[in-house]
Structure 1
């Protein structure tokens, strides 16, 4: 069985746009990173959404290699003092991570809805 995604069923596209996973019209966020309590169009309650530390992990993982490459290039090419890294590399790394947090959080929340992810339960009646 193959799942075909289009613009109305693609959790990544819907999440990156910050839209409601059910209707794709309402807003997912209230501000920069805080989730709205519910969709302002269809009323979907976002209580199911728990991306936890996933967005931060992915943002740091994506930004780490280019940031390290830039810091090494800067150091090996110009041999600057430490303060140069503090005013160039550190703000660029922080800004890149913050810029990625919202789309990644939206993607993970929409993926939870699209794939009906929920907390696991122990089946006590299972005999194995």
Structure 2
């Protein structure tokens, strides 16, 4: 069986090394190691990268939808609040885990932990 593409495995929350074990031990907490292949995730650190991408993607989608709705329908402000606040929350939470997995998989693909000098 061939190994899956690391980015696709990361997006689905699986180990970028084998594609079978879980990458996360909770919603956003990275597991200490893969339970399938034993790959060590202790050096994996996505930093603020996933949050930046979530802000850019969700912000664009919600802002575009809100402006489009305002110019086409002209709803009262309370309709905007009822529509776009939950949409922002749902979209942000829905994107955070896959994007964090993709960032960790990108580190794996580029061997970023091996380049660190602050062991």
Looking at structure 1, the residues matched to 29 and 36 of structure 2 have their Cα atoms a distance apart, in angstroms, of: 18
Matches within 5 A, 1:1-128: 8=3, 10-118=5-113, 120-121=116-117
**What is the aligned-residue RMSD (CA, Å)?**
1.9
- Give aligned pairs, total: 116
Q: Which has the larger radius of gyration?
A: 1
Bigger fraction of residues in helix:
2
The range that moved more, 60-69 or 101-110, is 60-69
Once the two structures are TM-superposed, the CA of residue 73 in structure 1 deviates from its matched residue by 1.7
TM-score, normalised relative to structure 2: 0.85
Looking at structure 1, the residues matched to 49 and 67 of structure 2 have their Cα atoms a distance apart, in angstroms, of: 27
TM-score, normalised relative to structure 1: 0.80
Structure 1 runs (4+) deviating above 6 angstroms are none
Could you tell me which runs of 5 or more consecutive residues in structure 1 were left unpaired when the two chains were aligned: 1-6, 123-128
